[in-house]
Structure 1
Amino acid sequence: MVAALAGLLALLLAGCAPIPQSADSAAAAGEPGTFRYAYELSPSRLDPHRASISQDGVTLFPAYDRLVHLSPEGEPVPGLAAAWEWEDALTLRLELREGVTFHDGTPFDAAAVRTNIERARTVEGSAVRTELDPVQSVEVRDPRTVALHLSYPATSLPAALSDRAGAMISPAALADPAVDLDQVAVGAGPYRMVEHRRDELTRFERFPQYWDPPAAAAQRLEIHHIAESTTRLNAVRTGVVDATRVPPAMLAQAEATGLRTEVAGSLNFSYFVLNRSRPIFADVRVRRAINHALDREAIRQGVYLGHATIEAQPFVEGYWAHHPGLGDEAIRHDPQLARQLLAEAGHPGGLAFRAVIPTGPDFLPLAEAMQNQLAAVGIDMEIVPAEPDTMGDLMFVQERYDAMIASWGPRADPSMTVATRYTADGFGNPGGHSTPRLEELHRQALRTLDQQQRAVVLHELVAEVVDQVLEIPVIFPHDVYVTSPRVQGLEPRLMHRPEFRGVAVS
């Protein structure tokens, strides 16, 4: 199996797709002061409160600053909120920075925070409603102080404000019916968006009035949206872009170019989303059968050439929410047990379903490996490719497919992953299936302020996720960054999403 997977991967990586570039970007190749990054995704939409996946932030956050930032290690640090404090279990006070303006000249103040939080909670199609669900009201105490009053404890809230839920849009733009936030970005970030061509290119210019000038170290920023990993690598090799990230199986190929490479682990994992409200997945024995049908070690070696981590749970070892005592029994490769569980669940002849995956070669080797392994126990999985920026809408909003194979972008707090992926109201939980124990442990974790005690609760919760197969983490691929020598300040992040604050080019 490993040899077959490696052969398939070699065929997929052999061809070099052409590098798309506009006349403008080609002319600017190597231009001093312009940092150009090739990213595998194009944002689902430009409106940060309605952008359907967390990875959209890579493109959105240069223009949209957030109340809270994250360090490379994933710790919440001050952003537009210079400081915050829990006054009690239901009141979070934020102290805001002075002298901040949006790109349209509108002042940033406590009223702007109230407008944004209320809008993010209630706007039609909000993708952050779950993260902001605890917020009952927003109190403006003075222009620099805002208090968030909660209906129930939510210790994850400061971290949640480092993602799309904490992205600040100009109130003037929100009030202007002529402004289409899916066409323009009107934020307060270090860069002002000047052009966005879906699936092609997003261009930014430094915002001179940004409150933290070193963050906008480059004069200009370009994000080239290139789905194919071979094309991204070639773009760096030929000087069309300055940096990118490629799958771990391409590490040797990247090293052969002579470019700088860096390998790092992260909380990102390739996951198998099942709509558990569908009859074929409602029985936990079917979900357990899928877990035992997958040969993750063969996938690790054949698809990722060993550059990946295997876990039964959604958090890797070393992260504080990881359950150290679970082990990997729940995902032990056992085709005979898988067939037995299917028969007990009423599927002695197997079953069939459709799984959507992102277009391009990055996920195809993984999907085809899983398809072959499932077929060995009588499960027929049809692979349906779709554009990466449509995946969240197709699976989580329209619920068009039975399953999805994709990449889960880490959240700033483990309770955010739980809320989004496993609770009945979670945006990333198609069909809304959950368990009473999961819901209770989630509430308990949110109201536990002591970090060590909270970790104990989360370990119990993770055990419930694994036992009831509320999640199927397939593999945790390692990150491989490839950069040209002229790039300075780009560093891997535990949260897997590159940020461009402080990134400069010589």
Structure 2
Amino acid sequence: MIKLRPVAVALVVLVLAVLRAEAQTTLRIGLAEDPDILDPTLARTYVGRIVFASLCDKLFDIDAKLNIVPQLALSHETSTDGREVVIRLRPGVKFHDGEVLDATAAKFSLDRHLTLPLSFRKPELAAVDHIDVVDPLTIKLVLKTPYAPLIAQLADRAGMMVSPKAATASGDRFGLHPVCAGPYKFVERVPQDRIVFEKFGDYWNKDQVFIDRIVYLPIVDATVRLANLKSGGLDIIERVLATDVKDIRSDPKLKLTTAIELGYRGITLNVGNDKAKGPLSQSDKVRQAFDLSLDRDAINQVAFNGEFIPGNQWIGPEHPYYQKAFPVRGRDIAKAKALIREAGITGRIAIDFMVPKGAENEAVAQMVQAMAGEAGFDMKIRVTEFATSLKQAEAGEYQAYYLQWSGRVDPDGNSYIFLKSNAPQNYSFYSSAEADRLLEDARAVDDPALRKAIYEKLTARILNDEPIVYIYHQRILIAHTVKLDGYVPMPDGLIRVVGLRLK
């Protein structure tokens, strides 16, 4: 038998360790911002949803065709009167701390979403009166009133399951070390620098997880994100600039994927809490004039190389609930000026225009400023950090606010929270008894034709009152190295990591 000297043994051990380390695959994802808290109950940012896609599985998910599909749940059934929803859970699911996801744990997560102070999921589940445990793998949601968007809500953060043991122990600090039931578990977070996850060995769908570690790297500058992708410092990046599309498509080492977003970009107008009580907040004719001053096609061509889709509603033209009876109007400066005169306004109209920091945002804002200026609006652009802009919007400290909403699969998710009186994200402080009634009516019926008819009436009301001027729907642009296999673009823009491989 051959005997190795101690030095040789040490060398063999070292080599094996190096080989094992080299065999580890790491996916590096470039983010446009640093997420807020990693607690699905308290989180509110779009970029946070991207991170949650690898950390926290949901009861349901969506597919590329906007169908709602099972994830941690296997099925659901709604009672004839629409007031009870029975959900059957997938067996054999574990949280990252080894605890079992059963009906009691699912009830805990939903109750937490409903009761935790400062929960942003509470409004999304407001129709739920209580949750019953039917058997170890079945829960029943008892509703106060029928609620058509419920399953769609459970396909997002409201449906994310957290470990009862970890959440109870951590309290409001759970987001510092989250424990969920996704394909990857939390390792560390360095704010504004990185978020690191590693593969969870007991994941219920582990046979489809092929990458060992994921590192999320927030890089605010889109040009720098792309440079890191080209140099090999990143493997995939989100929110590519439309002006970089041609460059990426010509690079043989990169691949561009696209999908039309579920949401919109628009200008929210402060109609109900404008301290200055300017003409924009006091007259729907002035708001209509502002809308007519904008050339959506020109904005799309100049700012986005024609990649995006001009729009005038909270859902895009390809969505099944889009109201074709209200097409996008063309620019009409003469009519805009006439409406301003009808409103009794003379002289130029000064507007505090709050714009979140970012190259594309600022480019659009400057075009809006120039276009509206021709109709008599003096748009005073105020570039603001995004988190700060949200706080100022909540306080009504603005008159016009350029804002993006990532969107939800059900039209209720793009409308109710922004247009219902006193809703949590009603930054315009808009209040209309008719709009409130229609929003509630649309929640109470399941039949798509009936719902669409209700939304047609709502669309007419909103396009008259114009608390939000919808401008366009972006094409979600995600670029990655050709070494990455299995990536499927999704209309919510989230990077789903199950099934991805690195060659």
Task: Give me the TM-score of the superposition, normalised by structure 1.
Answer: 0.88
- Whole-angstrom distance in 1 between the partners of 2:345 and 2:33: 37
Change (3 A) 1:266 1:191: same
Could you list the per-position Cα deviations for residues 262-315 of structure 1 after superposition, in whole angstroms to 9, with x for gaps in the alignment? Answer: 333233322112222123324212221221111212211111111111122122
- Whole-angstrom distance in 2 between the partners of 1:57 and 1:401: 27
Matched, 1:423 2:420: yes
Change (3 A) 1:124 1:314: same
Instruction: Select which of 243, 258, 268 maps to 1:249.
Output: 243
- Whole-angstrom distance in 1 between the partners of 2:436 and 2:470: 20
Deviation at 1:179, TM superposition (A): 6.5
Change (3 A) 1:128 1:340: farther
Deviation at 1:362, TM superposition (A): 2.8
Deviation at 1:38, TM superposition (A): 1.1
CA contact (8 A) 2:76 2:88 kept: yes
- Whole-angstrom distance in 2 between the partners of 1:394 and 1:141: 45
**Tell me, what secondary structure is at the counterpart of 1:472?**
strand
**Tell me, what secondary structure is at the counterpart of 2:403?**
strand
**Tell me, what secondary structure is at the counterpart of 1:276?**
coil
Report which structure shows greater RCO (CA 8 Å, sep ≥6).
1
- Whole-angstrom distance in 2 between the partners of 1:150 and 1:178: 27
CA contact (8 A) 1:37 1:242 kept: yes
Which residue in 1 is equivalent to 2:54? Answer: 62
Which residue in 2 is equivalent to 1:77? Answer: 69
5+ residue gaps, structure 1: 1-28
| Paired residues for 1:307-322 under 5 Å | 307-322=307-322
Instruction: Select which of 258, 262, 265 maps to 1:267.
Output: 262
| Paired residues for 1:493-504 under 5 Å | 493-504=490-501
Which residue in 2 is equivalent to 1:52? Answer: 44
Deviation at 1:155, TM superposition (A): 0.8
Could you list the per-position Cα deviations for residues 138-190 of structure 1 after superposition, in whole angstroms to 9, with x for gaps in the alignment? Answer: 11112211111111111110010111111222212222256612322121111
Which residue in 2 is equivalent to 1:298? Answer: 298
| Paired residues for 1:4-153 under 5 Å | 33-88=25-80, 89-153=82-146
**Tell me, what secondary structure is at the counterpart of 1:181?**
helix
Change (3 A) 1:355 1:209: farther
Deviation at 1:346, TM superposition (A): 4.4
Change (3 A) 1:119 1:394: farther
Instruction: Select which of 334, 337, 357 maps to 1:336.
Output: 334
Q: Aligned letter for 1:400?
A: E
RMSD: 2.2
- Whole-angstrom distance in 2 between the partners of 1:457 and 1:307: 31
CA contact (8 A) 2:263 2:414 kept: no
CA contact (8 A) 1:42 1:389 kept: no
- The higher radius of gyration belongs to 2
Deviation at 1:337, TM superposition (A): 2.4
CA contact (8 A) 2:58 2:159 kept: yes
Matched, 1:444 2:441: yes
Matched, 1:192 2:185: yes
Instruction: Select which of 360, 376, 379 maps to 1:378.
Output: 376
Task: Give me the TM-score of the superposition, normalised by structure 2.
Answer: 0.89
CA contact (8 A) 2:270 2:427 kept: yes
Deviation at 1:133, TM superposition (A): 0.9
Which residue in 1 is equivalent to 2:411? Answer: 414
Which residue in 2 is equivalent to 1:25? Answer: none
Q: Aligned letter for 2:188?
A: E
CA contact (8 A) 1:62 1:190 kept: yes
Deviation at 1:453, TM superposition (A): 2.5
Instruction: Select which of 233, 245, 270 maps to 1:240.
Output: 233
**Tell me, what secondary structure is at the counterpart of 2:359?**
coil
Q: Aligned letter for 2:308?
A: A
Name the stretch that deviates more: 304-313 or 434-443.
434-443
Instruction: Select which of 394, 398, 405 maps to 1:401.
Output: 398
5+ residue gaps, structure 2: 1-20
Q: Aligned letter for 1:303?
A: A
CA contact (8 A) 2:261 2:406 kept: no
- Whole-angstrom distance in 2 between the partners of 1:496 and 1:41: 14
- Whole-angstrom distance in 2 between the partners of 1:399 and 1:46: 27
CA contact (8 A) 2:102 2:136 kept: yes
CA contact (8 A) 2:86 2:138 kept: yes
CA contact (8 A) 1:41 1:389 kept: no
**Tell me, what secondary structure is at the counterpart of 1:83?**
strand
Name the stretch that deviates more: 339-348 or 435-444.
339-348
- Whole-angstrom distance in 2 between the partners of 1:47 and 1:391: 22
Q: Aligned letter for 2:175?
A: D
CA contact (8 A) 2:303 2:360 kept: no
- Whole-angstrom distance in 2 between the partners of 1:51 and 1:167: 12
- Whole-angstrom distance in 1 between the partners of 2:496 and 2:431: 33
Q: Aligned letter for 2:45?
A: I
Name the stretch that deviates more: 256-265 or 76-85.
256-265
- Whole-angstrom distance in 2 between the partners of 1:215 and 1:424: 44
CA contact (8 A) 1:342 1:350 kept: no
Deviation at 1:498, TM superposition (A): 2.8
- Whole-angstrom distance in 2 between the partners of 1:340 and 1:30: 69
**Tell me, what secondary structure is at the counterpart of 1:100?**
coil
- Whole-angstrom distance in 2 between the partners of 1:210 and 1:147: 25
Instruction: Select which of 360, 363, 367 maps to 1:362.
Output: 360
Could you list the per-position Cα deviations for residues 14-71 of structure 1 after superposition, in whole angstroms to 9, with x for gaps in the alignment? Answer: xxxxxxxxxxxxxxx9985211121212212222112123442111231122111111
CA contact (8 A) 2:269 2:428 kept: no
Q: Aligned letter for 2:259?
A: A
Deviation at 1:317, TM superposition (A): 2.0
Change (3 A) 1:436 1:215: farther
Query: Aligned residue pairs: how many?
Result: 475
**Tell me, what secondary structure is at the counterpart of 1:176?**
helix
